[in-house]
Structure 1
């Protein structure tokens, strides 16, 4: 009996060593840069040049000497792109690493990439970028001095966490605030709040709102879940058809649709954001930040995105939950009325 147990243990040991050798051989014989350009982007969501830049940036933070930096970054980007569980990605023929090894690599690569967020996700815009944004919203929708749009999106979480993560739609999530510009680049992301938090609560307690409140003469477009402020334009509540307010709401909805398209593109590019996230909230926040970072880098390079078609600039229905907050006093309503009157 004892000899039989030893024999079984030896057999399992040899099988494990064989698996490790096969994985290493597959990795060594695989070169992801031989993939056609479109297939490469479809697999890793970035082009080859950007991929190499990312490898150079995160390389100094990676510790495993037995697995190349290229393979480690490829494994993480493939995971974010497909939304597959770690085991599925680890068995990918271009990756071929153990599940526990991939878990360690995921945390290392995400942590290293998050260091790049500060310089690539910022509400600070150059004068040229501000002018481009103003021109875009005015020429297409007749809205003056608009430089950003804001909205919230829910990212699903496991049920095991606190009821704070139960959102108004009945499932557990993190409510992430997204602010974007005319080019669908993300200027700010806040994924630190549970799903039970209302969009307006996150906005009112954000540094992003504080920043835009100091940008005199510029506007942020938001839906009816936010309060009207001197620098935040929201739609009118229940306007009469064909009235000045109704026309304003139609144009407002069409212009603000760009933030919804931005969120749609982000989640389409990184399907990991569409699944149930099996990690603690702090790490989920880091991955969301990294996805936004990669999204911005791709937008600036006009990277091909095969699985997403942008919507036409049509007037979507406005059925967002209205905020319970009192709309700001002062000249906010007068500013909105003045813009609405200019549409007639």
Structure 2
């Protein structure tokens, strides 16, 4: 900090006891000039004059120089500002060597306006020092005596402290030399499929770098989400694998799942509205079972969850609790698949206490059928679904005929397609088999992302590792009103007789 070369006021300008007491603690240098001491005695004896204005800064410089007190004022200034070292004094030291410099009054001919600005600046900085017991005053005085280097030092760029975590595992997986089989084992898909997903989501998932840190790359963001869905490991394990914070991993999973649901679901989960696709599906189902006009196989599975804080009874799964002897809570996932096991319609998130027919009534598929969009198309379900004009369900009464047994056998073959599709989805994405840490309101987004990723893997021919296969079992609760259309009863009997007479009915039930 630099100070302009102005003169410090002497005792003659402020002949008051307060002025002397303010400087009495300083050690005034001894002087042989008796004129100074002689001049000080009359001042103390005289009565106090009227207080002068601050900007009356017009004392005689030549008189100060002649009295030899200028050196004393310099020492007072140094002690007052707290500079003891020689290098600190040099910043404020005036050029006292030349006598001609002080005799030339034009060099120090300040105007009243300039003197007033200088004294105001001094008063603002010196005034806080008067209160010795004030903490703020001490802080301001410390700021006043700061050096020029501290005041004019350029502001450094802020740095954010980030915990150093190892990213070795992810860097190894992201390397082109990483084995394809190991990559598929970790992410349940090939590297080519993973790259395709990253390209599709890049415009939505990409974040910009900030002044505090660099953004996480798109590939790492997508990898965090897919690995979490594939393994079902807790977030602390995800954090260790990818070298990110636990909260960051949780946020990335939700962000990528939301992007998958918003960007990829409209592309990869579509109901076949055009006649060409629907006729192709009907033809494949007929080749499989002999049943005509079958447009899809419907199935409902349950995903376990932690007991929610609200509506606990609604999510309580009585059937799973009785079978496993363990209190279970779940949400439902209803899906319609084509002959290849690809989802064409999904309904996610209804409480686990609801039966399959109740979930069907809440779905968009049910509303679509009521509008007549499923005309001449059958959706085949198990015994948990009612028989309707567009839903074909098996016979549930006892003492069935040979024709009825044969029909139920063909229904079971179509149902196997949907059940196998759900088994592969849960096998690929193990998070669906564990009680997830995701909040209930965010769970439909995660489950929808799993359905989309399942379709991508099925469409691209990604084979499931045989070690991941398991037996999927979901309780089938027969609805109270099993028959809801008499026309459907007659149509079902006709289909059963056609299967028997066309030699499509097997004898596995015998």
- TM-score, normalised to structure 1's length? 0.85
In the other structure, the counterpart of 1:45 is 188
| Number of residue equivalences | 321
**1:227, distance to aligned residue in structure 2 (A):** 1.1
SS in 1 for 2:318: coil
2:384 maps to which residue?
A: 225
The gaps in structure 2 that reach 5 residues or longer are 1-160, 209-213, 322-327, 501-510
Q: Deviations over 1:238-270 (max 9, x none)?
A: 343552111111121122111111110100010
Structure 2 match to 1:166:
316
* Alpha-carbon distance in structure 2 between the residues aligned to 1:113 and 1:296: 12
Indicate yes or no: 2:347 matched with 1:190: yes
Structure 2 residue aligned with 1:341: 497
Q: In the aligned structure 2, how far is the partner of 1:40 from the partner of 1:28?
A: 12
Q: Is the 8 A contact 1:239 1:246 kept in 2?
A: no
- The reply on whether 1:299 has 2:467 as its aligned counterpart is no
Structure 1 unaligned residues grouped into runs of 5+: 1-15
Q: CA RMSD in A?
A: 2.5
Distance of 2:446 and 2:278 partners within structure 1: 28
Rg (Cα) greater in structure: 2
Deviation at 1:83, TM superposition (A): 0.7
1:110-121 equivalences under 5 Å are 110-115=257-262, 116-121=264-269
1:26-105 to 2 correspondences below 5 Å: 31-60=174-203, 61-63=205-207, 65-92=214-241, 95-105=242-252
Partner Cα separation in structure 2 for residue 127 and residue 308 of structure 1: 39
Residue pair 1:225, 1:323 contacting (<8 A) in 2 also: yes
Q: For 1:30 and 1:265, how far apart are their aligned partners in 2?
A: 24
- 2-structure distance, mates of 1:272, 1:318: 17
Question: Does the aligned pair in 2 maintain the 1:268–1:308 contact within 8 Å?
Answer: no
Higher RCO, 1 vs 2 (CA within 8 Å, ≥6 residues apart)? 1
The verdict on how the C-alpha distance between 1:160 and 1:218 changes in structure 2, with shifts beyond 3 A counting, is closer
Counterpart-to-counterpart distance in 1, 2:463 and 2:175:
18
* 1:143-182 aligned within 5 A: 143-161=291-309, 162-169=312-319, 170=321, 171-182=328-339
Q: Distance in 2 between matches of 1:181 and 1:294?
A: 16
**Distance change in 2, residues 1:29/1:220 (3 Å):** closer
- The whole-number CA distance in structure 2 between the counterparts of 1:294 and 1:318 is 22
Listed one character per residue, the Cα deviations across residues 92-126 of structure 1 (whole Å, up to 9, x for unaligned) are: 2xx22221221121122111111121232122344
Give the whole-Å Cα distance in 2 for the aligned partners of 1:156 and 1:318.
12
Q: Distance in 2 between matches of 1:224 and 1:125?
A: 27
- Output the CA distance in 1 between the equivalents of 2:303 and 2:202: 29
Quick one: which of 244, 248, 263 aligns to 2:403?
244
With 105-114 and 160-169 compared, the bigger mean Cα shift is at 160-169
Q: CA deviation at 1:202?
A: 1.2
The answer to whether the 8 Å contact 1:265/1:308 transfers is: no
Mapped partners of 1:319, 1:66: distance in 2: 46
- Residue 281 of structure 1: SS of its match in structure 2? coil
Counterparts in 2 of 1:211 and 1:38: CA distance versus 1, 3 Å: farther
DSSP-derived class of the 1:175 partner: strand
TM-score, normalising length: structure 2: 0.59
Between the aligned partners of 1:320 and 1:36, the Cα distance in structure 2 is 43
Q: Report the CA distance between 1:319 and its aligned residue.
A: 7.5
The answer on whether the counterparts of 2:236 and 2:246 sit within 8 Å (CA) in structure 1 is: yes
Cα drift, residue 308 of structure 1: 6.0
- For the Cα contact (< 8 Å) 2:206–2:217, is it kept in 1? no
Residue 69 of structure 1: how far off its partner (Å): 1.3
C-alpha deviation, 1:210, in angstroms: 2.7
